[in-house]
Chains A and B, each alone.
Chain A
Amino acid sequence: MKLLYFAWLKAKTGVAEEELTPPPEVATVADLLAWLATRGPGHAAALADLSALRVAVNQEYAKPGDPVRPGDEVALFPPVTGG
C-alpha cells in the first residue's frame, strides 16, 4: 500500500511517501490510521488529532469506515486551503 503525506503531515511524519504492508486486520481507513499512529513518534504526532485530518483512497475522499486494500494509494492531508 502506498501512503502519501501532504502539508504539515509530511513534516510531522518526516516522509512524503512510503510503501507499507499493514497487517491483514487493517480493513478500513480508521483501522489504517490507528495502525499508522503506532509506527513511531512522528506518525503518532501527525495522527494525534484525527479531526484535523482528511484521507483520500485512490485519489477520492474517504470516510473512516471505507475499505482499504493492498495496492491502494492512501493520502493523508489537512483540510484543503486552495483557491
Chain B
Amino acid sequence: MIRVQQEDFDVGAEVAALSAGNHAVGGVAVFIGVVRDMAGDEAIGAMTLEHYPGMTERMLNSIEAEARERWPLEASLIIHRFGRLQPGERIVLVATASAHRHAAFEACEFLVDWLKTKAPFWKLEETAAGAKWVEARSSDDQAAARWHTGSKPDASDAAE
C-alpha cells in the first residue's frame, strides 16, 4: 500500500496494521525518514517537500510492485509526506513484512533507495541565507544502482 499525505503518521499503528491477522509474518522491517536540522554545515529552519501529484503515486506503486516481485513479502507500506516540515518531523515511512527477516530488511532498503531516486519529490530547505533546492546526490544514485547489479555499495558513499 502507498500513501502520499501532508499529515503525520502513527508509526506504531501503521506497523501493527501491516501484519494484523496475518500470522505468516515473521518479521517487519521499518525505515523512518526524519528531517535533520543541518545540511552539511548549514543550519536548516524547515523544509518544504514539493511533489508531482499523480506521478508520485504511480512511481511509488510501481516501486512497491517491483519489491513484491523480488522478495516474498506478506505486506508492504510506503507513506511519504509533502508540504512544510520542521526538523525532527517524520518525512517517510517504509515498512515490509515477510516470513523471514532477510526479505524484509532487503526489500525495505530497496524501497528506500528507489524512492529516493525515482519518486518525484523535491526538498526546498530554509537557511539563514534563504531558501534553496536540495541537489540530488550521486551517492543516492549509486545506492539505487546496486539493486541492478547485485553488488554492494561503497560504504562511504552510501553513508547518510
Residues on A lying within 8 angstroms of B by beta carbon are 4, 6-8, 56, 59-61, 75, 77-83
Q: Number of B residues contacting the other chain (C-beta, 8 Å)? A: 27
What is the distance, in angstroms, from B18's C-beta to the closest C-beta of chain A? 19
Kindly state the separation between the CA atoms of A80 and B140 in the bound complex, as whole angstroms. 10
B118-160 interface mask toward A, CB cutoff 8 Å, 1 = contact, 0 = none?
1111111000000001111000100000000000000000000
Question: 9 shortest A-B CB distances, which residue pairs?
Answer: A82-B121, A79-B136, A83-B116, A59-B55, A7-B122, A81-B134, A81-B123, A8-B133, A82-B119
Residues on B lying within 8 angstroms of A by beta carbon are 33, 49-52, 54-55, 58, 80, 91-92, 112, 115-124, 133-136, 140
Question: Are B122 and A83 closer than 8 Å at their CB atoms?
Answer: no
Give the residue name and chain of the A residue nearest to B47 (CB). A81
Question: Are B133 and A82 closer than 8 Å at their CB atoms?
Answer: no
Known A-B contacts A82-B121, A82-B122; the reply to A7 vs B115 at CB < 8 A is no
Known A-B contacts A81-B121, A81-B123; the reply to A7 vs B50 at CB < 8 A is yes
Question: Are B80 and A82 closer than 8 Å at their CB atoms?
Answer: yes
- Tell which of A8, A56, A79, A83 touches B55, judged by Cβ atoms closer than 8 Å: A56
Question: Are A6 and B50 closer than 8 Å at their CB atoms?
Answer: yes
Give the residue name and chain of the A residue nearest to B120 (CB). A80
Known A-B contacts A79-B136, A82-B80; the reply to A6 vs B49 at CB < 8 A is no
- Which of A79, A82, A83 has the most chain B CB atoms closer than 10 A to its own CB? A82
